[in-house]
Chains A and B, each alone.
Chain A
Amino acid sequence: MMKKSRRSFLKVAAVSAIGIGAAPAISLSSSSTNSHGSSHAAKSPNKGAKTAKRWGMVIDTSKLTEEVVEHIVEACHKAHNVPDFNHEVDEGKYPKTRPVNHKQEVKWIWEEHFHNAFPDKEDEFLADKFKHLPFLVTCNHCINAPCVKACPTQATFKREDGIVLMDFHRCIGCRFCMAACPFGARSFNFRDPRPFIAETNPDFPTRSKGVVEKCNLCAERLAKGEQPYCVEVSKGAIVVGDLEDPESEPRKLLDKNYAIRRKQALGTEPSVYYIM
């Protein structure tokens, strides 16, 4: 009995994950537990939802300043209930919380130096302005995503519109995807993240210990016709749109500017571009 209903659940989840541009898989999965997920599981795109053949991101590095980068990281992490290990734990609510190991932190989008973001493009004569530029790195939503291939339970999957998503409730925490990702985009919840969330956003699920997570390109916002959080606060430094549409904003930028992608030689085909 149990098995059958699970299987039919899987079918629904798979069909909706493959077929539709919204975020049904997330909402479906989050509705199965008590975490604060958006439980209005849609099986067809919302009216006004942003759709694309292949979502992609263009980052204009000339517009990245320390301040902008900080805002972007904060907006993303706050909205997605990403724990901050520097947050002082509320001892009343979470007594006896053990000290943190900062090497076990969780992050979706963060700042790196050029030679870390592009280790294969390290150059001793690189212009100073690039050496000190705060580069932003995040999940590349690769066309040939190694994490999707590695996942033994299809908890990480690729939507037809290019977004690589995760089902936090199916993930068994084997961390094969973390070994597979060439961009270090994935984080594992080595512990319950909730004591380290200053203010929980009720519109997005919190995670339990023992699962992997990463940037979801704000699939939950695109489904509502809104721009990703990072785009919203980036002061024009980040643009997200349909890479297959020649009229889209990202494509117009790519037409006019020279842009690079991380570790192109590996053939994963990242969907995040950096205008130099």
Chain B
Amino acid sequence: MLEIAIKGSKKYWIWLAILAVIMTAGVIAYIDQFLNGLMTTGMSRDVSWGFYIANFTYLVGVAAGGVMVVIPFYLHDYEKFHRITILGEFLAVAALVMCLLLIIVDLGQPIRALNVMLYPSLKSILFYDMLVLQGYLFLNIIIGWKVLEAERNQVKPPAWTYPLIYLSIPFAIGIHTVTAYLYCGLPGRGFWLTAILAPRFLASAFAAGPAVLILLCYVVKKFTKFDPGWEAMQTLSKIVCYALIANVFFFFCEIFVVYYSNIPGHISHIDYLFFGLHGHNAMVPWMWTSLSLMFIGITLLIVPWLRNNKFLLPFTCIMIIAGTWIDKSLGMIAGGFVPSPLHHVTEYAPTLKEGMITLGIYALGLIILTVLYKLATTVKEEVRG
């Protein structure tokens, strides 16, 4: 099946070449970081995680969001999703590869990464995060590949894939729950120390993942002969809508508890994000933009004639992706680390090199996604034609 990937149009190769150039720039920046240490980043003693872990958190959500097509199709026989299920699974594969790479580039001693498996520490949530992320990655590779292969040969997928498909559902929930537990189990960080964090992560993931998928459906429709189906996209947009409402609702639950209880250790972080603290307010415009984008997104999706507008929908999705990305990447990291446990305000901004490395990883993710989508759409065209 892989032979499909090396037979492409000029546009296909130019696109891959552009991505390869971006990726190479990332590799060059990474070589510098590898040789000189994480001093090349904007991270500090007080803000010890930054852009890498922020994007990691977001992409875990995108990967988990793929389950929003798997559940309706496999558990509820929702036929409209038949054509896009594979797109959801392959999106998860690309997102997870990016996640694992973002973890690797964040390590101070990447060559020692295998110590996590050589000396497993059963009390560390990071150990479990590694297990579920890898598990979910392999599940999606196997399922996606086998189901596509079966479709190409016009047979039913082998029976043993079904248990794996059902298993992938709790795994999807699992990757984002465990990722939330990385944060919310730490006693000294008031911003993260909240039981609503995992539900909030999931809600935001189930909005962001399908929103990315809708955008990809537009791309697929424009550049291939395969039509994912407008009805499937409309259903997806409803899923995005309700997940986004849940996300904002959970956020307001958090706001209520924090401000009504009036506990300083919890207030100071949200104050910093939305109003600034001791004159430091780098995050303020970002957070209000994020909240506004999410509110506009909800409005545009909840009103039927706005939601069903084929021209408007991709822009709505872009707004939602940007809004949730700011909320969950930048906000989650900056809010958690500022102010520090000793109530110092040390602000954080990524450096150019940090940005290049992250962009390089996104480029690689897009290469994987492009190749996988090429396989999927070509097979689907073949079968129909």
Contacts and interface: CB of A to CB of B under 8 A. Distances in A.
A239 B188 CA distance: 27
B43 A190 contact: yes
B344 interface: yes
Contacts of B106: 174-175
A112 interface: yes
Interface string B89-127: 000000000000001001111101101101101011111
A266 B187 contact: yes
Given A103-B346, A176-B182, A179-B48, A190 B37 contact: yes
Contacts of A266: 187-188
Given A112-B342, A173-B107, A179-B189, A151 B121 contact: yes
Contacts of B119: 10, 153-155, 170
Interface in A153-167: 153-155
Contact of A137 (B121, B342, B346): B342
A138 to B, nearest CB: 12
A contact face: mostly helix, strand, loop, or mixed = loop
Contacts of B45: 103-107, 178, 184, 187-188
A268 interface: yes
Interface string B53-92: 0000000000000000000000000000000000000000
B116 A184 contact: no
Interface in B178-193: 182-183, 186-189
A150 B48 contact: no
B262 interface: no
B340 interface: yes
B108 A173 contact: yes
B199 interface: no
B124 A210 contact: no
Given A103-B44, A149-B124, A188-B108, A210 B336 contact: no
Given A117-B342, A171-B109, A153 B38 contact: no
Given A6-B118, A116-B344, 4 more contacts: A172-B107, A175-B49, A176-B126, A190-B39
B341 interface: yes
A247 interface: no
B149 interface: no
A192 B109 CA distance: 12
A45 interface: no
A182 B342 CA distance: 8
A184 B342 contact: yes
A268 B185 CA distance: 13
Contact of B187 (A6, A101, A153, A267): A267
B42 to A, nearest CB: 8
Interface in B1-59: 36-39, 41, 43-46, 48-49
Interface in A208-260: 208-212
A209 B124 contact: no
